Structure 1
Amino acid sequence: MTTKTIVIDHGSGFVKAGLAGCNKPQMVLSNIVNYTPCQENPGPSYARRQVSLGIDFSHPDTFSYPTERGHVLNWEGVEHIWSFIMNEYREEHEDCPVLITESPFWEPTDRKKTLEIMFEYLHVPTLLLADQLNMSLYSSGHLTGMVVDSGYGLTQVKCFHQGYPVHSSCQMLEFAGQDLSAYLCKSLFKDDADPRNLFQMETVNHTQKRKCYVPNNLAEVLFQCTPSSSDKDLMYQLPDGTMMELTPMEQIAPEMFFSPQVFNLPGPSIPQLLLESLKTCDSSLHPMLMSHVVVCGGNTMYPGFSDRLYNELATSDLLSSTNASLWVGSDRNFSVWLGASVVAQLSSFKSQWVTREQYEEDGKV
């Protein structure tokens, strides 16, 4: 592609967007829209509202997530977010091609709706839909390996050989960052916990970023879990200045990805998910696949996550004779977008782009 391409990775937690070829997405938006009353708009009740980005602090109960756990629940909200992104870039880059990453849960109807929005409402010239996990692999510069992605709504594992997915290897958990946030909210605020309370949302987010980690040895942490009000490491200042005492279990909340049973959650753990994915592949491929395991997604940013994953794999009976090598990029929370940014510039994907003319000739399907 000779012109600049707009790359959009629409996740369950955040929407990353920017121009292909850049080192990072230039826009990172929360996957949130809000609906506020609009008296100027006459008509039925559903029409007397105005959609906008983010949370309206004057109407804090009106926000919603257009996509959840990889499923599109509100196409109007999705279209509003995409329209905002396109308008931001079109002043300087009019008539740009667009690449959108797609969730593994997308059905043909979701792809059809995406084409409809992009070609009929946003009038893009060409469009490419790209698999999210495949894009993460491209961000690492390899064509063969495994991808472990744990984001806000989903945790996924898939194997790739020479750039093509091993479809039987796809393993997925509808368990991810939003579940960790829910656990912390309930633990911190007890019976008053409200996942839509803005103060509680900010407190949980602040706590996750500043205090949470994955321990090297869970047994040692559990052994040391004795209450001690004098332990300064457990005292934590909230964004409003209030002091709160964190329990050790709250600090190691990301451990739930490795020991879900400790938190009364169903399994499997992420290491188990990875091994289950590997078992579906021919054993002759195991050394190549394990030699390049791409670790990405926001949950993998917790301190200690990659070290713990490597140790779990290294001690596995299945991998005792295989040298596992983890690829952990510094911007791994943007891996999908970064890989898509690379793919948007590759001539090898030229045949996969859909033009507006093709869309119209094929009966808009």
Structure 2
Amino acid sequence: MEDDQLTVVVLDCGSSTVKAGFSGEDAPRAELPTLVGHARHPGTTGVMHGNPSDVFVGDQAASRRGLLETTEPITRGAVTDWDAMQHVWHHVFFDSLKVACEEHPALVTESPDNTRLDREKMVEMLFESFSCPTAVVANTATLSLYSTGRSSGLVVDSGAGRTHVGPVWEGYLMPHFLRRIDVGGDDMTDLLRDKLRRDGYPFSTAQDRMEVARIKEDLCYSSLNCQRELTYCKESRSIERWHNLPDGQQVFMNEHRFTVPEALFAPELLGASFKGTPALHTTIHEAIQMCDPSIQAELYGAIVLAGGNTLFPSLDERVQREVAALAPSGTTTRAVAFPDRKYAAWLGGSVLGSLRTFPSMWVTKNEYDDYGASIVHRKT
């Protein structure tokens, strides 16, 4: 089989979920929690649940949280437990996708500010632990832009653990102008959980937190004018909605629906530890202003939202409005939010892996053997 006919395995590993599938497809084949669980008493819990290895990954671990010691391998977009990460990849390759790793090139996403050492570790694992024939590590900002058919734009990649704001020009991320905000979807979930607790809802367990995340995804939206809407809420209950819990109870939401996403524009709402954290709209403006003046207008006109934490309805309108207020007079500002933006990085990887030029980007096993893992920096 010729190289350009090989199907590439595409892995997008985030703080919350892993998306996995094959190049050329329009959706990942598998999506699972980035979670690993170990039996508290080796040799007992695993066998009891039909898993003699005592290691549970993804949904297997999430559904048994109360019985296991669990680990989240990725924190704020960075791998913090490589052994657990290897368990996740093993599960994805062999259980979710059911592939022979030695027969497929692999493309793995990385955070835009990933360290050189961690990039090398990714390549080392793909070759040493999984015997992949070739490997590519690609940053999520550029891939997210590819998923929209663009090669230039300002990417706002906001996932569970962090938000990156990065200018991409003609297919290349401009790392010196990349900005990171340590605010993500998990912070929004925790904020909503705290608000609901104050309202009398007893959300305390890990399973409860997962339900709060579902409430957030179901009912929250970005307000175009938070203060005006707060005033309106005092006069009317027309925006009140409810969420049905598995036990039949209902959770009622009024102003929480929009005050939670408001934390993207006012991070201090998340608590004292977030005081001084930059707001999303000011970070976008500052990142663009650092770029060469000749490309700034195009970046203002192509602000691309990506990642699960950008799914709040009307967020694109709010971003566009706030950035327009900061941009130079006469500048056209446009923020775009495609329906499948939760999977933007994976979809970009699917597109990239389908290109005839893709083999020029990969590291081969022979190159790895000859030069070591550092060869990846010449191809990234």
Q: TM-score by structure 2 length?
A: 0.86
**Which one has a larger percent helix, Structure 1 or Structure 2?**
2
Does residue 184 (structure 1) correspond to residue 188 (structure 2)? The answer is: no
Residue 297 of structure 1, aligned match among 301, 304, 307? 307
Matched residue, 1:32: 35
Residue 142 of structure 1, aligned match among 147, 150, 153? 150
Tell me: CA distance 1:174–1:298, structure 2 relative to 1, closer, same or farther (3 Å). same
Mapped partners of 2:280, 2:339: distance in 1 = 20
Partners of 1:150 and 1:297 within 8 A in 2: yes
Question: Which stretch of the first structure deviates more once superposed, 15-24 or 206-215?
Answer: 206-215
Shift of 1:242: 1.3
Mapped partners of 2:317, 2:233: distance in 1 = 22
Partners of 2:101 and 2:130 within 8 A in 1: no
Residue 11 of structure 1, aligned match among 14, 25, 39? 14
Residue 289 of structure 2, aligned match among 279, 282, 285? 279
Matched residue, 1:52: 56
Q: Which runs of 5+ in 2 are unaligned?
A: 46-51, 375-380
Tell me: CA distance 1:351–1:256, structure 2 relative to 1, closer, same or farther (3 Å). same
Tell me: CA distance 1:273–1:58, structure 2 relative to 1, closer, same or farther (3 Å). closer
Give the 3-state SS of the residue equivalent to 1:226 in structure 2.
helix
Matched residue, 2:140: 132
Q: TM-score by structure 1 length?
A: 0.89
Shift of 1:300: 1.3
Give the 3-state SS of the residue equivalent to 1:4 in structure 2.
coil
Tell me: CA distance 1:193–1:108, structure 2 relative to 1, closer, same or farther (3 Å). farther
Give the 3-state SS of the residue equivalent to 2:174 in structure 1.
strand
Partners of 2:93 and 2:99 within 8 A in 1: no
Could you give the per-residue CA deviations for residues 39-93 of structure 1, whole angstroms, max 9, x where no partner exists? 379xxxxxx9832113252734522210011121111111111111211435478
The one-letter amino acid of 2:175's match is H
Partners of 2:307 and 2:341 within 8 A in 1: yes
Shift of 1:187: 1.7
Residue 173 of structure 1, aligned match among 181, 187, 192? 181
Shift of 1:291: 2.4
Name the % identity: 29
Mapped partners of 2:240, 2:262: distance in 1 = 18
Matched residue, 2:316: 306
Mapped partners of 1:202, 1:160: distance in 2 = 34
Matched residue, 1:322: 331
Give the 3-state SS of the residue equivalent to 2:62 in structure 1.
coil
Q: Which runs of 5+ in 1 are unaligned?
A: 42-47
Partners of 1:25 and 1:337 within 8 A in 2: yes
Partners of 2:27 and 2:347 within 8 A in 1: yes
Shift of 1:170: 0.4
Matched residue, 1:224: 232
Partners of 1:56 and 1:63 within 8 A in 2: no
Residue 345 of structure 1, aligned match among 341, 350, 354? 354
The one-letter amino acid of 1:118's match is L
Matched residue, 2:371: 362
The one-letter amino acid of 1:117's match is M
Partners of 1:4 and 1:93 within 8 A in 2: no
Partners of 1:235 and 1:244 within 8 A in 2: yes
Could you give the per-residue CA deviations for residues 258-306 of structure 1, whole angstroms, max 9, x where no partner exists? 2334555433221111001011111121112222221111121111111
Tell me: CA distance 1:232–1:103, structure 2 relative to 1, closer, same or farther (3 Å). closer
Mapped partners of 1:86, 1:208: distance in 2 = 31
Report 1:193-208 matches (<5 A).
197-208=205-216
The one-letter amino acid of 1:182's match is D
Mapped partners of 1:95, 1:315: distance in 2 = 52
Give the 3-state SS of the residue equivalent to 2:192 in structure 1.
helix
Shift of 1:130: 0.5
Partners of 2:102 and 2:131 within 8 A in 1: no
Shift of 1:227: 8.7
Matched residue, 1:213: 221
Does residue 89 (structure 1) correspond to residue 92 (structure 2)? The answer is: no
Tell me: CA distance 1:268–1:194, structure 2 relative to 1, closer, same or farther (3 Å). farther
Matched residue, 1:63: 70
Mapped partners of 1:194, 1:358: distance in 2 = 55
Could you give the per-residue CA deviations for residues 227-247 of structure 1, whole angstroms, max 9, x where no partner exists? 98x778255432321133334
Shift of 1:198: 3.4
Tell me: CA distance 1:143–1:90, structure 2 relative to 1, closer, same or farther (3 Å). same
Partners of 1:176 and 1:299 within 8 A in 2: yes
Matched residue, 2:377: none
Give the 3-state SS of the residue equivalent to 2:313 in structure 1.
coil
